[in-house]
Amino acid sequence: MNRLSLTTRLSLMFMLSVTVVLTVAGVSFNHLSQRHFKMLDQQTLNEKLSSTQRILGELHSVDQFSELKPQLEALLGAHRDLTAIILNSDGKLFFASPRPVRVPEQLRTLESNAMLEWQDHEQIYRGVMAPAIVPGQDKPLTVILIFDVTQHMYFFETLQRWFWIGLVISALVSAGLGWMVARSGMRPIRQVTMVAASMSAGSLKERIPLAPVPKELQQMVSSFNAMLSRLDDAFVRLSNFSADIAHELRTPVSNLMTHTEVVLSRKRNIEDYEDNLFSNLEDLKRMSRMIDDMLFLAKSDNKLIKPENSQIELREVVGKLLEYYRLLADERGIELCVSGVGSVSGDVLMLRRAISNLLSNALRYTPEGKIIRVDIRQTNTSTVVTVQNPGKTIAPEHLEKLFDRFYRADPARREGSPSNAGLGLSITRSIIEAHEGRIWCTSSNGTTDFHIELPSASMNRA
């Protein structure tokens, strides 16, 4: 089933709104107009009835009626649609001007001065009835005043007919105007659709200008432009990542091919083959570690890393890592020291790997004879681990990119050592973020600090 377009639905809603408003206004106007004319008719009938009762009250006897008849005719003759009927005490016709009209029985049973509306064939009447006391008469006369309102009612019927015709025309016109307005208002959405449909790897830098966009749609367009920026950034990073993977794997694959071709170039003894296999094994191990690291990062990107939740004393974890790296540090005259205590909840193996990456990175760039410091500070809400090492100051433009995969501040992009593929800091950030923490780097005056902030153990238990 095909759904109506948004433009069509807005047009129909606009038409429906206009139709409802006009219908309510028309029905209300018709009702109020008819009520107004009805009140005017009742007011006129009551005034004429009161005047007739006053004139008849001046009679001393019914025999003198002929003297007051000209006054009655002058009073009642001013309205050509008004009929006056006077009945004597026996109910017989006593006076009729201009001609008698058949009076329904309902009128005779109504209270005095109450108005009744009825229809006789094609004529529509409104009438009132009241007694008129004549001095000297035991029983009062009965006065009936009747208005012929047929023309009024025909006028309202004609008005209603033209109203409904006008309503249909207005509905059609409003539908057309609503379609034009909706289509004009949907132009920015169509522009977004066209831009989205034309998106490709080479057009991710296109943006929709905000100036011609209505205020109500600016937030949507801004969000769409922001999404394009994120896609562009992700695509660039993915392209760089693919290039970096090829760049990093090229060296070990090339080494494997070269060594194998050299060994196979002629017959060799068993020791040569063993040496070649050991050499190939080193390159294979490096490739294996790189693949494992990339798989770990892929799981991190898809939120598949689920760390354990056990209490960890960071002083103990850092102390064991320093013992592990102390032999390498002693060879270069580098001193390792730790200060402070703190505990967190998390996966001890993951956090050990993250801190180990930072220590390994610090040892790689610390000059001989210097000191690497690890400081642990705990507050009520978080625990911060800082790994500080002296060395060349990192330029500010590189600090945020240090945690990107395969990123190196050296523009020469040299291949890493067998133990360094350029993924350590990326893995560290993934581990810290999996523990709902954050990591950042500061570098100034020949000192570089890597800071890890994790929720305190008390916060995680809460």
pLDDT digits 0-9 by tens, 250-261: 777 887 888 788
Task: Taking residues 124-141, report their average pLDDT.
Answer: 82
Residue 132 pairs with which residues in a beta bridge? 141
Neighbours of 82 (CB within 10 A): 20
Confidence at residue 80, expressed as pLDDT on a 0 to 100 scale = 74
Q: Is the pLDDT of residue 6 over 50?
A: yes
Assess whether pLDDT exceeds 90 at residue 117: no
10 Å CB burial of residue 74 (0-12, 13-18, 19+) is exposed
- Residue 52: pLDDT band by 50, 70, 90 thresholds? confident
Phi, psi (5° rounding) for residue 417? -75, 170
Of the listed ranges 151-165, 337-351, 395-409, the least confidently predicted one is: 395-409
Residue 416 pLDDT more than 60? no
DSSP assignment letter at 246: H
Fold exhibited by the domain 6-170: Beta-Lactamase (3.30.450)
* CATH entry 3.30.565.10 includes domain 310-461: yes
CA distance 274 to 82: 132
Assigned CATH topology for domain 215-301: Helix Hairpins (1.10.287)
What is the total residue count of the chain?
462
> Percent of the chain, pLDDT > 90?
15
pLDDT for 69: 75
DSSP H or E run through 275: helix 270-301
Q: How far apart are CA 218 and CA 212, in angstroms?
A: 9
Euclidean distance between CA atoms 462 and 457, whole angstroms: 9
Mean pLDDT of 241-249: 68
Looking up tokens 């009140």 gives 39
Residue 408 has pLDDT above 70, yes or no: no
> In the prediction, which pLDDT does 337 show?
93
Q: Range with the lowest mean pLDDT among 312-316, 411-415, 446-450?
A: 411-415
- pLDDT for residue 216 is more than 90: no
What is the pLDDT at residue 413?
39
426: amino acid identity, one letter: S
Residue ranges covered by each domain of the chain: 6-170, 215-301, 310-461
Contact present, 94 and 146 (Cβ < 8 Å): no
Q: What is the pTM of this model?
A: 0.50
* 3-state secondary structure (DSSP) of residue 81: coil
Find out whether 431 and 350 touch, Cβ atoms under 8 Å: yes
Alpha carbons 15 and 23: distance in angstroms, whole number: 12
